[in-house]
Amino acid sequence: MSTEFELIEAFLKPFPSGRAVRIGPGSDCAALSVSPGMQLVATTDAIVEGVHFDLRRFSPEDVGWKALAVNLSDLAAAGARPRWFLCALAVPRSSRTTQIARRISRGMAPLARQSGCALVGGNVTRASEWSVTITALGEARRPLSRDGARPGDALAVVGSLGDAAAGLRPDPAPAAARAQRRPKPLVREGLLAARYASAAIDVSDGFLQDLGHLCNESGVGAIVECTSLPLGSAARRLHDGLDLALSGGEDYALLLSIPRRNLQALRKRIRLAEVGRMVRGRDIQLTELGQPRPLPRRTGFDHLE
Amino acid sequence: MSTEFELIEAFLKPFPSGRAVRIGPGSDCAALSVSPGMQLVATTDAIVEGVHFDLRRFSPEDVGWKALAVNLSDLAAAGARPRWFLCALAVPRSSRTTQIARRISRGMAPLARQSGCALVGGNVTRASEWSVTITALGEARRPLSRDGARPGDALAVVGSLGDAAAGLRPDPAPAAARAQRRPKPLVREGLLAARYASAAIDVSDGFLQDLGHLCNESGVGAIVECTSLPLGSAARRLHDGLDLALSGGEDYALLLSIPRRNLQALRKRIRLAEVGRMVRGRDIQLTELGQPRPLPRRTGFDHLE
């Protein structure tokens, strides 16, 4: 087992230093300059060995990528530009600790670079299993939230559904394995959506569950046409692909409520699937070619189950 | 085992909603307004069952208090005013989960209130043991860092040393148990120090180790007079109290490097112990009534040991 400071040094190596950071990782605190006129947007999310990943199926690089990706997806849903992140690592006792930590950071650093998000602080502690808890900080002039959807808005999905859940099955198709291990946060799409959408959420817990959050917070219902849902290429080939798309979770697609007058303008800028509409009331109704379809029994993911 | 949403609801209950928060906990992200002219100061720290606490000696309320306190202490060392925090909770499977989470938040909320620090986001996940990972956000016009100490500066300690480590022993004195379980982050003192000190760090890993960080980052050495160290009331009564003060850790005192010309002004505003001075070179030297004293073999805490 190497010392804390060797591990921190190994972890930090693949990361360039950030812009607008006066005091960076290795110090008690980071000091950051938020751009004038911008709101600071903050989110935190953890991934834990044995719950969110398994080192027999995930490489340490996958773990690093995904830990940051799930946080960037939350920023994307708020229409925020990623700027900085802090990373709290929990590591079990093992002779390979520093090697695994180095590989986690090698998986995380390319996504950080692509997204313009600088590592500015962190923590390392011992624990029974590996976990990576990230707090991501971004900026937005007018952050999107879950509570702005109005009856009459179009309901749209950016990205695809079902593949990440398919990636948990034995011998998944390559697209499904990739969706599960290397989800792509839709940062650019979120930034554009912020100019046109009335509300947004990312699909982390399952389409129906996350749509439920959006509806609850906005005080609206929704009608969803199942044949319009953008199933991923792997889910499309499974007999229960639609179930995975509705309830599978971890897709990190964006769910947008879009006032009708903005729909065409946004369509020109990003690829989206119009899957239904927001309505008065509180209920979510599914249709299949316009005919009512029952809701599935399991509608999403409980992090404590 | 209750559901994720019941647990989140129970956890959030004791917290009032924050100022300058547009979207709060329960949403994907918090949207926050940093005050004009201020730097954002960010830090993250975790406490883990079996590593930092043991539920046979710590009440869940103690865990909640301490998890926030150790983060506020980092903000204090940066001279930052606490504003917001995010809390990522890891919970083991147990029938008492929601009850324990509720008690953790009941211990955390009073400190959040006292410190003017609002809970604005979080995460909950299953894990093998309890852990609380907090990211605290503050504001400072001119954050203190570890790298500004200069030869000739006075070295001072705010707060006391050794009691927290004494609190880990069997049958600790009440002051020692309190220092271990309910450390007081020196927020007000840090805010004042920011106006007078050249560098600061909080004593989390042990006086000598944290002084070592300060010296390394600043490129200076230090001479410390042991009889001037402000031992806590419990450590003072132990035959090895000085060793605990030098190497024990978790005191959450502040270590300040102060230009001579500022010393009197700061002394008038906060209680501090002048314990030595910063010198050229890289070494830390101990003296006892002016005579050289050898450094202890163990100088601090390794989070992976």
Looking at beta carbons, which residues of chain A come within 8 Å of B43? 28-30, 86, 121
B241: distance to nearest CA of chain A, Å?
26
Q: Which of residues 150-189 of B touch A (CB under 8 A)?
A: none
Tens of pLDDT along chain A (305 residues) come to 568 888 988 999 999 765 556 666 667 799 999 999 999 999 999 999 999 999 998 999 999 999 999 999 999 999 999 999 999 999 999 889 999 999 999 999 999 999 999 999 999 999 999 999 999 999 999 999 999 999 999 999 999 999 999 999 999 999 999 999 999 999 999 999 999 999 999 999 999 999 999 999 999 999 999 999 999 999 999 999 999 999 999 999 999 999 999 999 999 999 999 999 999 999 999 999 999 999 987 666 666 65
Best B3, B4, B28, B100 residue to mutate vs chain A (most A CBs within 10 Å): B28
Q: What pTM did the predictor assign?
A: 0.94
In this structure, are strands A254-258 and A154-158 parallel, antiparallel, or unpaired?
Answer: antiparallel
Show me where the domains of chain B are located. Answer: 4-140, 154-293
The winner for highest mean pLDDT among A119-128, B12-21, B59-68 is B59-68
Looking at beta carbons, which residues of chain A come within 8 Å of B45? 88, 123
Q: What is the pLDDT of residue A24?
A: 61
User: Are residues B128 and A133, on separate chains, in Cβ contact within 8 Å?
Assistant: no
Looking at beta carbons, which residues of chain A come within 8 Å of B120? 42
* Owner of token pair 């390559």: A174
Q: Which of residues 17-46 of B touch A (CB under 8 A)?
A: 22-23, 27-34, 36, 39-46
Which DSSP category does B97 fall into?
H
Q: Which of residues 204-243 of A touch B (CB under 8 A)?
A: 217
Looking at beta carbons, which residues of chain A come within 8 Å of B47? 125
Distance (Å, rounded) from C-alpha B169 to C-alpha B274? 28
Structural Rg of chain A based on CA atoms? 20
Distance (Å, rounded) from C-alpha B305 to C-alpha B129? 18
Residues A198/A259, Cβ–Cβ less than 8 Å: yes
A143 vs B31, B36, B201: nearest CB: B31
User: Are residues A78 and B28, on separate chains, in Cβ contact within 8 Å?
Assistant: yes
User: Are residues B42 and A304, on separate chains, in Cβ contact within 8 Å?
Assistant: no
Higher pLDDT: A248 or B5? It is: A248
pLDDT beyond 80 at B216: yes
User: Are residues B133 and A33, on separate chains, in Cβ contact within 8 Å?
Assistant: no
- Over the stretch B178-190, which tens digit does the pLDDT of each residue have? 999 999 999 999 9
- Over the stretch B70-127, which tens digit does the pLDDT of each residue have? 999 999 999 999 999 999 999 999 889 999 999 999 999 999 999 999 999 999 999 9
pLDDT confidence of B2, banded at 50, 70, 90?
low
Best A4, A6, A7, A29 residue to mutate vs chain B (most B CBs within 10 Å): A29
In this structure, are strands B30-32 and A39-48 parallel, antiparallel, or unpaired?
Answer: antiparallel
* Owner of token pair 């070592």: B212
Q: Tell me what the pLDDT averaged over chain B comes to.
A: 93
pLDDT beyond 60 at B248: yes
**Considering only A113-122, A170-179, B146-155, B295-304, which range has the smallest mean pLDDT?**
B295-304
Class of domain B4-140: alpha beta
Amino acid in position A280: R
Residues 6+ apart with CB under 8 A from A35: A139
Residues B156/B258, Cβ–Cβ less than 8 Å: yes
Instruction: Report the CATH number of the B154-293 domain.
Output: 3.90.650.10
Amino acid in position B292: P
Q: What is the pLDDT of residue A147?
A: 92
B78 vs A28, A90, A91: nearest CB: A28
